[in-house]
Each structure stands twice: as C-alpha cells, then as structure tokens.
Amino acid sequence: MSHQDAKDSTTQDIITNVSATGASSRDAAMIVDPGLVEQTISAALGQGAEFAELFAEDVKRSSVHLDDGRIESLASARDRGVGIRVVSGESTGFAHTANLTEQGLLSAAKAAADAARTSGAPSSSRPTLEFAEADVASVGVRPGDIDKETKVGLLQRANETARSSGAAISQVSARYADNRRRILVANSDGVLTGDDQTRTMFSISCVASGDAGLQTGSESIGLSMGFELFDQYDVEELARRAAQRALTKLEARPAPSGTLPVVIGPGSGGVLFHEACGHGLEADLVKKGASAFAGKMGEQVASPLVTLIDDGTMSDEWGRYAIDDEGNPARRNVLIEDGVLVDYLWDGLRAKAEGRPSSGNGRRQSYRHLPMVRMTNTYLAGGQTDPADIIGSVDHGVYVARLGGGQVNTASGDFVFGMVEAYMIEDGKLGAPLREGQLIGNGPKVLQQIEAVGNDFEMGPPGTCGKDGQGVPVGDGVPTLKVQELTIGGMA
C-alpha cells in the first residue's frame, strides 16, 4: 500500500498526545476463564471424538457514515462468544454460544459432540495446554481512545474538500470504521494461543453531474493499525483525488468493444488475481474439483514472469494477522513461482489429512462460523520493467487504472470485472478517459498471457472477501502489467 507524504495536522496533534499501546497475544486468553478452556475441550471430546477445538472471540467496532453533508449514522458495538468444533471420522459437529459461563461452554461442547455423532468410549483424558505467544502487531493509537467528534471531523473535512473541487460534484459519501478483534484458540492437539488485531479504514465516494450523466470517483484506505493511519494519509488529499476522478470521467468517451491488449495499473488490479486465480488455489475448492488448477501441481500454469504470493505476515496490511482462526501462525506462501504451480492454500484439518503443515489460511468470519481455507494478502510480485515502457509497447489498447467488483467461476476461471477507471492507449501513450465498461477473460489464460511485469508494485485498497456466506478482510496488489489480450465490454 503506498503511503501519502501529506499529513493531517489536526490528527497529528492528537496522535502525538496519545501514548503508543502495546499488544500481547496473552491478553486474548482472558476472553474465557483459563480454568474452563481445558475443561471445555475435554467435554467436547465427548464419546471418543478425534479432535476438539475452542475458538473464542471478542470484537469491538465503531463506524461513522456521512452522506449529503449529514452524519447518517454513528455506531459502536461489541460481540463476544465461543465456537466449539468437534471432529469424529468424517463428521464435524459445531456449536456456538455467547454464554461464557461454565454451564454455557459445557452445553455448547456437548451439543457439538452430539452433532459430530461420536460413538466411542467416553474420554477421561484432558489435553495439556501451554500458552504460546504469537507475533501480535503493535498499535500506535487505539481507535477506542479517540473521541467521536474527531472521527466525525475527518468525514466533514473530506466532504468540504471534495465539494470544493468542482461545481459539478453533486454528492459526497464518506465512511470511517475501526475494529479491535481479540481471539483465543485452543484444541486437543495442544494448541493454545491468541491474537489481538486492530484495523482502521476510511473511504470516500463522489458523484459528478454533467452532460454525460452521473459519473463516480472513489478512494479508500485501510490498514491493520490504529488511528495512526491518519498520520500516514491525508483525508483531504484522498477527497480531492476521488472528486477529480469523477470530474475527469465527465469528459470520458464510451469504452471500446472487442479484444485488445490491456495494461493493468499498480494496486487495485490485484482484485483480478484474488478472484480469478486466488480462489482456485484454495485447497478446499481444489479437493472438490471446483478449481481450474486442480491436478496441476508442478506444471507451468502461467508466464515465467508470474510469481503469485499469499502473505498473512505483511506488516500493516489489511489481511495481516499473527495467527489464523485455527491457531496456526500466519505465513508467506508462494503459490506460483516463475509460472510453475508450487502449492495451494491450506487450513489445518485438510493439511493434517494430507500429512503436511497448515499454510496458516484457516479463517472464519466470527465465532459463529466454521473455519475454511481463505486468502490473506494475495499479490503478483513485482518485476523489472519500467511502467512507461510497458505502456509504450502498446499501439492500440486499454489502460485499466482501477478495477471494481466482478464475478468469477472458480471451476473454469472465467471472470467479468468492472473497469472503474480506464484510458485508451494510442501509439504508446495514455489517451482519452473511458466510461465504465467490463473486462472479460479467463484467469488461467490471463496468467499465460502476461507479457510484461513492472517494477512499481503496490497493494490496493482494503477488501472483504466473500465465500460460502462468510466475509473476511483481505488485501491484494499488483505492479503494472501487460496482458496480451482481453475482451473489453464497452458501448463504442
């Protein structure tokens, strides 16, 4: 994620007057009475289950939303509870509870054991658990220590700046949000550890009105850190950029229709690889045969210029954590190296069945959900080529500066993404801005058709990845790159 040099002086004054806050994974152990953890797991083992797990979570969050110059909502919430998973043969039982008393935990443990249809002899053994410290990220300023007026002030200043950028700006919407998530994971394999995660984000969207109708521009930032985020980013500068993006698109021409060379800019283009390739590298989809990469381990699946990485250890990034939601340390996992498929992403149980270690990718939305294989920060590693040379190599094509949402078929790899900001390339130079169109292609084919990779790697804006009804925070990124050809779905 690139950082802005400009700083918000008002926020800076606040930050320098609040002491930095340390964090410890041991703090998370206090979510549940330590004396109840081993007792609950023993009860969950029930009638001879093979595996039992306790996942405790305590989340505090706050948000502010501004629309049309008014504060539409200002909210705070806390959610705390425990999920218990029991595995017996091919059966998995799961129960969750917000009642953290002995009665509540033991009742949930019994319900999970019953759901797993355990049928062996009652287990009298108790797992021996010794707490293992995790590499918890430090936090400069806890967002909970910042008053609501300061958070509201961020949005108000951004709103005023955006509206002053041009008379055509007709609507501005801005949002601030933060959350602190503490988790504790314990299981019958002897795991006992925790994490303390803080995330802070800001976003702004502007609408410009003109002869071409309504055009939008947006900016968003979010990192795994506290309120010191606004020491690194100036919300007024973000507002100016969002407004200018909307104003520029008023002069845009319709996007072309057809197959053309495409250059994807650094940062937000990473969502294409997250959706079109990353999901297909998750071991659960591979095992189900719902992945275009199933059975291709060790094969050349991409251009030799492609190295695709998923890294939950990336400092400050949105998808960063110390441990996954099964208690395994986060890892940097190379999935495709120099075009060769070298690994998939794994959660704990699937990795155990394969006789290999977890890749640290077992994640869940909350204590109410079972973990599954999920990405963290997924990105295409940077190359050696100057971005200007990449654009200069295209006689007639499209430069996509920002990608929006899309749809992907993980089994085939076919995708459709919206082009939020794009420009024509003519004779090796950026030309007219384009109205929003669609980028259509196939993930595995795109990997093969990457002809150049730039030296300007950036992480994109924060994201929430949805899978099987669960959403988790993720990051993605790319350098500038050139794809031999993609289908553009435009109106021209």
Quick one: 267 and 219 in the same domain?
Answer: no
pLDDT bracket for residue 22 (50, 70, 90): low
| Tokens coding 16 | 């320098």
Residue 149: inside a domain: yes
Q: Flag whether pLDDT at 29 surpasses 90.
A: no
Query: Is 4 domain-assigned?
Result: no
- CATH of residue 100: 3.30.2290.10
Instruction: For residues 413 and 446, give the distance between their C-alpha atoms in angstroms, rounded to a whole number.
Output: 10
Domain assignment of residue 92, yes or no:
yes
**What pLDDT band is residue 123 in, cutting at 50, 70 and 90?**
low
pLDDT in tens, 205-264: 999 999 878 999 999 999 999 999 999 999 999 999 999 999 999 999 999 999 999 999
Domain boundary among 226, 249, 272: 249
> How does residue 5 score in pLDDT terms, banded at 50, 70 and 90?
very low
- How many Å apart are CA 45 and CA 85, to the nearest integer? 10
What is the percent of the chain with per-residue pLDDT over 90, rounded to a whole number?
85
**Claim to verify: residue 265 and residue 190 sit in the same structural domain:** no
Is there a single domain that holds both residue 283 and residue 174? no
Q: Is residue 2 part of a domain?
A: no
Above pLDDT 70, what percent of the chain?
93
Whether residue 171 is found in the same domain as residue 105? yes
Domain boundary among 215, 249, 283: 249
Query: Same domain, yes or no, for 225 and 342?
Result: no
Spatial contact of 420 and 451, defined as CB atoms under 8 Å apart: no
pLDDT-based confidence at residue 102 (cuts at 50, 70, 90): very high
Does 12 have pLDDT greater than 60? no
Domain that holds residue 140: 9-249
- Domain match, 270 and 238 both: no
- The pLDDT of residue 13 is above 80: no
Residue 408 — very low, low, confident or very high, per pLDDT cuts 50/70/90? Answer: confident
Query: Given this model, what pLDDT does residue 117 score?
Result: 82
Total Cβ atoms within 10 A of residue 452: 23
Residues 195 and 278 in one domain: no
Number of domains in the chain: 2
Note the pLDDT of residue 491. 77
Judged against a pLDDT cut of 60, whether residue 422 lies above it is answered with: yes
Q: What integer pLDDT is reported at residue 407 of this predicted model?
A: 85
Q: In the chain, what are the helix, strand and coil shares in percent, each to the nearest 5?
A: 25, 40, 35
Within this chain, do residues 213 and 280 fall inside the same structural domain, yes or no?
A: no
- The predicted-structure confidence for 173-184, as pLDDT tens digits, reads as follows 999 999 999 999
**pLDDT band, very low/low/confident/very high, at 432 (cuts 50, 70, 90):** very high
DSSP string, 301-322: -S-TT--EEEETT-TT-TT--S
Tell me if 1 is assigned to some domain. no
pLDDT at 411 over 90: no
Task: Note whether 238 and 262 are same-domain residues.
Answer: no
Is the domain of 228 the same as that of 314?
no
Boundary (domain end) residue, out of 217, 249, 281: 249
pLDDT one-digit tens code per residue, 263-310: 999 998 999 999 889 999 999 999 999 999 999 999 999 999 999 999
The identity of residue 474, as a single letter, is: V
pLDDT tens track for 147-193 = 999 999 999 999 999 999 999 999 999 999 999 999 999 999 999 99
Residue 119: pLDDT over 80? no
Residues 243 and 264 in one domain: no
Claim to verify: residue 217 and residue 311 sit in the same structural domain: no
Q: Is residue 213 part of a domain?
A: yes
Q: Does a structural domain hold residue 3?
A: no
- CA pair distance 370, 93, nearest whole angstrom: 10
Q: Are strands 308-311 and 332-337 parallel, antiparallel or unpaired?
A: antiparallel
pLDDT for residue 406: 83
Residue-wise DSSP of 103-134? HHHHHHHHHHHHHTT--SPPP--------B--
451 falls within a domain = yes
